[in-house]
Amino acid sequence: MTGHEYTLELLGKNPLQYVQVLRMSLESFVRLCAHFKINYALKDCKHVSVEEKMAMFLMTISHNQRYVIIKQRFQHSKQTFHKFFHEVLDKMLLFAHDIIVPTSFNLNPNISGYNRRLRRVFKGAVGVLDGTLIDVVVPAKKQDLCRSRGKGDCYQNVLAICDFNMMFTFVVAGWKG
């Protein structure tokens, strides 16, 4: 089965399988491909569509797959896969630069009455810091790293900082501690 045929078959699968393979819904995948075509000039090549390029990229990064595995799955040479992977990666870096922007800190935010009182108590503080555990689903091989002490459920440790308007200003998933 060629890479094009595999991509078409993947687009026709049920939603649960699609999420397992590409780690996103079919609708999200289609919108992502369209967004990259319009805004980042990602184009179809003679034998490889944007959808196939994106599927190769997402399967590689979401499952930590080696070139050899993706090369065999999509029936392309290592050089072809390398070229398309880095083409999509370059566009992803532009996308990340456009999407991930630091927040601007407003030193005098419009704070409600309750938060205004807290602002006086915590004068000079930028925001609130909290470490919390988020319930997660992880592959069986990695569950030992995320296992909790209680019932044995899996959790991800997350550090979050928000300002007094309850807007997140910083989030790190997987921090130590």
- Token digits of residue 50: 């944007």
110-148 tens-digit pLDDT? 555 555 655 565 565 555 555 666 777 777 777 776 666
In Å, what is the CA distance from 124 to each residue of 53, 103, 133?
49, 18, 28
What pLDDT score was predicted for residue 177? 46
- 8 Å CB contact between 134 and 143: no
Distance in angstroms (rounded) separating the CA atoms of residues 14 and 80? 29
The closest of 94, 75, 109 to 6, measured between CA atoms, is 75
- Token digits of residue 137: 């689903």
pTM (two decimals) = 0.57
Is the model more confident about 1 or about 58?
A: 58
